[in-house]
Every structure is written in structure tokens, then in C-alpha cells.
């Protein structure tokens, strides 16, 4: 089991780096497009590419953000609970998140397959959009595995407290 978690961590770190590269790429492409527009030579398809990179940056950051507990939470209310109730709420939240993102991952895969079969492409660059949807579905799959890992860690904490 430990080998699976190490593999998930390795993939998650690579996704984080690619997401950061997308963020930097968005910045440079937007700046280059603005300068190009100033000289009446905009970059063709820049808006589409920036949109794709933004989508990938967000999807690739999700697993790492969850692992680092970087999501917004209602800490003021949560801290008033006893440690036992905090573990229970955390476990229930993790289970609900797991169910939701398993469903989202599955539907994203189905949607990507539908896009691939229909041959749909982007408007300007004629880029096959199903590739982006497959990447987002893969990122969500890693996110689901990180949530499962979090649930296992919660079980370990409960066993240690007993």
C-alpha cells in the first residue's frame, strides 16, 4: 500500500510542477499578446490557449492543495468542537468529497470520450478539446486517490487515540 501512496505523491508533485508551468505560461502568453496587440499583431488563439492552461493549472493544483489542507474552511467554528468531533466531521467531509469527486471523475471521462467520438475541436485553433478533458479527469483521479489516502490517515489517527 505504501508503494501506491509514494506513486501518487510522485505524480502529484509532477502535476504541481506542470500546473505552475501553465500559470507562468499564461502570464507570458498574455503579456506577449498584449504587446502584440499594441503593435497590431495579436497572437492567434491566445485566448484559447490561456483558457486551457488556466483549466489545467486549477485541476493540477487540486490534489496538492488538498494534501496540504490549503482549502478554505470554517476554522472558527471547527476549533470549538472537541477533538473527537473534529475527527468525525473531518471523516464525514472526506467521505462526501470522495463520493462527489468519484462521480465527477467518472463523468469527466465519459464526457471526454463523447468529445473524442464526436471529433469536436476548438473554434480558432481546431485543437481537440477531449485531450484537455482527459487531463482534467486524470487530475481528478489523482485527487480522489489523495482523498482516499486522507481517509486512511484519519483511520490511523482514530486507532492511535484508542
The pLDDT score that the predictor gives to residue 161 is 66
Instruction: Kindly tell me if the per-residue pLDDT of 158 is higher than 80.
Output: no
Using a 10 angstrom Cβ sphere, with 0-12 exposed, 13-18 middle and 19 or more buried, the burial of residue 64 is buried
Q: Indicate the pLDDT class of residue 69, thresholds 50, 70 and 90.
A: confident
Average pLDDT, the chain: 92
- Number of structural domains the chain divides into: 1
Coil, strand or helix: which one is 77?
A: helix
User: What are the backbone dihedrals phi and psi of residue 80, each rounded to the nearest 5 degrees, phi first?
Assistant: -75, -15
The pLDDT score that the predictor gives to residue 162 is 58
Instruction: Kindly tell me if the per-residue pLDDT of 116 is higher than 80.
Output: yes
Residue 40: which H helix or E strand, with range?
none
The pLDDT score that the predictor gives to residue 74 is 67
Q: How many CB atoms lie within 10 A of CB 162?
A: 4
Instruction: Kindly tell me if the per-residue pLDDT of 1 is higher than 90.
Output: no
Length of the chain: 162
State pLDDT tens for residues 7-48. Answer: 999 999 999 999 999 999 999 999 999 999 999 999 999 999
State pLDDT tens for residues 122-142. Answer: 999 999 999 999 999 999 999
Radius of gyration of the chain (CA): 20
Question: Which pTM was predicted?
Answer: 0.89
Under a CB-based contact definition with an 8 Å cutoff, are residues 51 and 9 in contact? Answer: no
The pLDDT score that the predictor gives to residue 159 is 66
Under a CB-based contact definition with an 8 Å cutoff, are residues 133 and 108 in contact? Answer: yes
Question: Which grid coordinates are listed for 139?
Answer: 487530475
Task: For residue 11, give its domain range.
Answer: 2-161
Amino acid at each position: 500500500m505504501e508503494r501506491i501512496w509514494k506513486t501518487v505523491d510522485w505524480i502529484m508533485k509532477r502535476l504541481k510542477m506542470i500546473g505552475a508551468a501553465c500559470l507562468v505560461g499564461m502570464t507570458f502568453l498574455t503579456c506577449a499578446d498584449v504587446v502584440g496587440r499594441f503593435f497590431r499583431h495579436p497572437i492567434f488563439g491566445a485566448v484559447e490557449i490561456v483558457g486551457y492552461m488556466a483549466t489545467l493549472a486549477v485541476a493540477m493544483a487540486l490534489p496538492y492543495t488538498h494534501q496540504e489542507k490549503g482549502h478554505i474552511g470554517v476554522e472558527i467554528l471547527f476549533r470549538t468542537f472537541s477533538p473527537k468531533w473534529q475527527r468525525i466531521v473531518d471523516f464525514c467531509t472526506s467521505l462526501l468529497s470522495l463520493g462527489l469527486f468519484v462521480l465527477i471523475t467518472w463523468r469527466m471521462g465519459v464526457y471526454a470520450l463523447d468529445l473524442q467520438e464526436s471529433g469536436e475541436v476548438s473554434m480558432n485553433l481546431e485543437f481537440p478539446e477531449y485531450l484537455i478533458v482527459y487531463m482534467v479527469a486524470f487530475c481528478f483521479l489523482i485527487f480522489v486517490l489523495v482523498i482516499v489516502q486522507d481517509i486512511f490517515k484519519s483511520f490511523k489517527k482514530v486507532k492511535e487515540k484508542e
